[in-house]
A and B are shown apart, each in its own frame.
Chain A
Amino acid sequence: MPSAGLLGIHYQLAASERMPPEAIRGAQFRQLGALVDHCAAHAPIWAERLKPLGHRVGRQLAEDAWRSVPVLRRRALQAAGDALLAQADPPGHGERVPFETSGSTGAPVKGVHSRLALTLWNSIVLRDHLWHRRDLGLKFAAIRRTRPQRVGPEGKTVAGWSASLAAAFVNGPASLFDTNQPAEAQAEWLLEADPHYLHTQPSILHAIVLEAMARGRKPRALRSISTFGEMLPAATRALVREQWGLPIEDIYSSVEVGFIALQCPAFEHYHVQSEMNLVEVLDAEGKPCGPGQVGEIVVTPLHNFAMPLLRYAIGDFAEVGPPCPCGRGLPVLARIVGRTRNVMRRADGSVVRPPVDDLFKSLETGILQYQVVETSPRTLEIRVVSAAEIAAADVAAILANATKVFGPGFAASVARVASIPRGEGGKYEDFVSLAEAARQAP
């Protein structure tokens, strides 16, 4: 995209993030109205789903009525396949670019993005850098999924953090390394590359810090780290702060819908990227959650006319936060709680992400990694990776902590395992509820 386009969009974003919430909402619904008009004309499957809305083309969309549109679940999306695509794209939206999710929780989701939607996402990449005051002239490093034909096992350094950034700004180099390389290699590479900024998944980062600790080394130039792709555990934030003295700036995004929320520059909570996505957080009855409540995230990308997704339940849960004192009017998510299979449902129907970290406090045994799996309703298997055998006192402590965290009535056991495998996308989960995953299946 021409660099002027990126700066021109950012001129608007810099203003809109400070607008009052109702003005943001108004602008979203005007954009949503254009998307709905398009669906009615060019996407039969969506036209059908929009019927309860009673929307008439060109009319202002009523916010209350929006909730009458049914929520689309991930499995329904997978089942519908190409039927979700529009029959025609408006002029100027550019070519269709295929995407495929990593499929950490089973079958991947496939679809297309318009070039226009991807162009607009670039402006959020820039916003993230600017919010966190990164010096665009310095060196950037990313450990992420790469294409083997482009980035070999030794990694690669390119000019510019991205094509659009390099077109608009004096931009430093970027070094890339693959997410599937072993942690030792990633740590060695990072220490050698010595970048000013690092961008990677929380679990990769966690493992690299441990590897670097084992070598008694630290990255020298590193100023901050941005994470994406998984829920960021509090333990990883704490580890990076303690060991490297660095902040983490987290990004909440997904392949299907792009940027959902960015961490606030002033606090550890998140601002919804309302200019890109209409984000709803809904309780078990489908009503919007208030501050402090955890609910299911339902996303409507506002610009991907090639493959509209109206009220897509992405499979994550989040806690709604109160308005942010930083002055930004963008809605707040206090925490990203995780995926459906990473939450536990209480007897009253409310969902929580168990604070699994709390199970492993003040232990004698050095714990490298852990995962709690709810294998069947009210049965927990606590899996632990450790260099040495777990001391009996520590097993007792873990079980006692589990009672505090999960409450009574759970059967829990501790098992030492050789490793905790990642999902296909390299994602690490500290809590997995096979029970909840089964419940969500159609």
Chain B
Amino acid sequence: MTVAPQDFRSNVPGLTWPALPDLVGAGALALQYQLRESEQAPPAQIRGRQFRQIAALLDHSFARIPFYRARLERAGYAPGMSVDEAFWRRLPILTRQEVQDAGAALRAREMPGWHGEQYAFSSGGSTGRPVNGVQTELHRLYFDAVTLRNHLWHRRDLTARLAVIRFGGEVALANGRASAPGWNRPAASAFRNGPSELCDVHRPIAEQLAWLAEYGADYLLTYPSLLRELVLEAARRGVSLPRLRGVVTFGEVLDAATRALVRERWGLAIGDTYSATETGYLALQCPGFERYHVQAETCLVEILDDAGAPCAPGETGRVVATPLHNFAMPLLRYDVGDYAEAGGACPCGRTLPVLNRILGRARNTFRRRDGSRFWPAGISLSEDPVRQFQIVETAPWQAEARLVTTRPLAAAERAKAAAEIAGALLGEYAVRIVEVAAIARSPSGKYEDFVALPPSPAGAR
């Protein structure tokens, strides 16, 4: 993660080393300085610092947000008290539905000191009813710091070109494109930083691939599902991307099959990230291993079992997150809706908590006959002519595999695909292959490989 001295940006004429960047850049370096120290601190110390930050967040929430005041009082909270594990567990989990129902009641009536402007967000996901809220400039400052940490961890060349394919929103022009002189403002202020370009996720795949090749991207940032499509499209068209040095994924679950596909076809390792619109970053892939380090400086992440107790390494539980710096709309113990496997200590030397795997949302789980749930995995369908797939549970132990293909499948190809999918569903499901013209992404550009039935009220499925 060492940046060469000449790659720091100095804002003072005549001063090249050590550099003094502008205020944004100096702030960015100051945060990186602290992050680099804290990622190696003893776990108990990291936890202590989190609870001190949470104490400030709770005092604020208690004083300025009646919704939380009531919750905190019920949990036995008094302003100014120090927060420990025992108290923290008494605080109830906040569900997505509660956040949706509470609406503006979760927002602070006043803000302490400088937390900057507030920005509205809407987390559409693919479930229909979005979660709406606000985040502060301070929250974004920490978000950007973790973005930069991710690049530094993975030793990306900050002077290179970054291509981004994601939801363009208000940023993209009518042609779905946008460009910036840097990767983000802190990176461009603190370092000699290459340009970045964006292409909207909803543009046709052929156009995205052509753009990527023409732009000559060194790094690509996009959703795992789109990455898979790009790799397959490039293979079909015989397009190569000789400059591409690295790929960063976000926004969806990255499965082993996509990792393998990108490694095999493009010879590249993926650096995955785990974030949510409501919370910001939860974890970044370790630079040394295919596991994840919780971004403990910006978010308290808990992996809890069905009884609400913390999972031990190797156990899978739901992800509950508390962003530490969004005082405009605190989310205290927010159930993100995902499942992840807790991990043990990482040999890389970073002491930030470990997640072995991110498994995805509850609605991406399928069921065994004994009622236990599992996340299907291992479907590559990487051979022509399959270009996209989505497996939908249509009835208990019945699945429909929707395939988008470049030409009609031969009988043998259908059988092969059905067998691969049935295997991924552990042989528990009858699989029906359906060829469709397209599988729509959600408005935010995300896409789910596996969609299960919601649990029946009686829990009988």
Contact = CB atoms under 8 A, between A and B. Distances in A.
Contact of A30 (B6, B28, B30, B33): B6
A92 B27 contact: no
Interface in A72-120: 90-93, 116, 119-120
Interface in B9-27: 11-21, 23, 25-27
Interface string A294-306: 0000000011010
Contact of A8 (B2, B13, B15, B20): B20
A34 B19 contact: no
Interface of A: 2-16, 18-19, 23, 26-28, 30-31, 34-35, 37-38, 90-93, 116, 119-120, 123, 168, 275, 302-303, 305
Residue among B13, B19, B28 with the highest chain A CB neighbour number at 10 A: B13
Given A5-B26, A12-B8, A23-B5, A34 B14 contact: yes
Residue among A26, A168, A303 with the highest chain B CB neighbour number at 10 A: A303
B168 to A, nearest CB: 32
Nearest to A274: B17
A14 B36 contact: yes
Nearest to A8: B29
A18 B243 CA distance: 30
Contacts of A18: 2
Contacts of B81: none
B5 A90 contact: no
A8 B26 contact: yes
Contacts of B20: 5, 8-9, 92, 116, 119
Given A13-B18, A30-B6, A275-B17, A90 B30 contact: no
Contacts, number: 99
B38 interface: no
16 contacts: A4-B23, A7-B29, A8-B29, A14-B33, A16-B18, A19-B5, A27-B16, A31-B15, A31-B16, A92-B13, A92-B15, A119-B20, A168-B30, A275-B17, A275-B18, A302-B17
Contacts of A9: 18, 20, 29
A120 B26 CA distance: 13
B3 interface: yes
Nearest to A37: B14
Contacts of A7: 26, 29-30, 33-34
Contacts of A116: 12, 15, 20
B4 interface: yes
Nearest to A15: B2
B32 interface: yes
Contact of B29 (A11, A23, A91): A11
A30 B17 contact: yes
Given A7-B30, A16-B17, A303-B15, 16 more contacts: A2-B23, A3-B30, A4-B23, A5-B26, A8-B29, A11-B32, A34-B16, A37-B14, A91-B12, A91-B13, A92-B11, A93-B14, A116-B20, A123-B18, A275-B18, A302-B17
A131 to B, nearest CB: 14
B387 to A, nearest CB: 45
A123 B16 CA distance: 16
A186 to B, nearest CB: 36
A358 to B, nearest CB: 42
Contact of B14 (A6, A15, A38, A275): A38
A12 B13 contact: no
Contact of B21 (A8, A15, A16, A28): A8
Contact of A92 (B5, B12, B23): B12
B389 to A, nearest CB: 45
Contacts of B30: 3-8, 11, 168
A303 B17 CA distance: 9
Interface residues of B, number: 29
A38 B18 CA distance: 17
A157 to B, nearest CB: 27
B2 A120 contact: no
What 8 A-B pairs are tightest by C-beta distance, nearest first? A8-B29, A7-B30, A11-B33, A27-B5, A92-B12, A4-B30, A90-B13, A8-B26
A106 B37 CA distance: 46
B435 to A, nearest CB: 55
Contacts of B12: 90-93, 116
A19 B2 contact: yes
Contacts of B27: 4, 8
Contact of A2 (B14, B16, B26): B26
B188 to A, nearest CB: 15
Contacts of B190: 8
Contact of A35 (B3, B8, B11, B14): B14
B156 to A, nearest CB: 16
Contacts of B23: 2, 4
Contacts of A11: 29-30, 32-33, 36
A410 B171 CA distance: 84
A27 B13 contact: no
Nearest to B25: A8
B14 A27 contact: no
Contacts of A119: 20
Contacts of A123: 18
Contacts of B4: 23
A12 B5 contact: yes
B10 to A, nearest CB: 9
A193 to B, nearest CB: 30
Contacts of B32: 11
Given A9-B18, A34-B14, A16 B5 contact: yes
Contacts of A38: 14
Given A4-B23, A5-B26, A27-B5, A12 B18 contact: yes
A13 B25 CA distance: 16
Nearest to B35: A11
A61 to B, nearest CB: 12
A11 B27 CA distance: 11
A11 B11 CA distance: 16
A30 B190 CA distance: 18
Nearest to A9: B18
Contacts of A6: 30
A18 B2 CA distance: 9
B296 to A, nearest CB: 19
Contacts of A14: 33, 36
A129 to B, nearest CB: 14
A30 B26 CA distance: 21
A93 B21 CA distance: 13
A90 B14 contact: yes
Given A11-B32, A11-B36, A4 B26 contact: yes
Contacts of B11: 92
Nearest to B29: A8
A136 to B, nearest CB: 13
B288 to A, nearest CB: 19
A184 B5 CA distance: 49
Contacts of B15: 31, 34, 92-93, 116, 303
A27 B2 contact: no
A14 B14 CA distance: 22
Residue among A5, A6, A302 with the highest chain B CB neighbour number at 10 A: A5
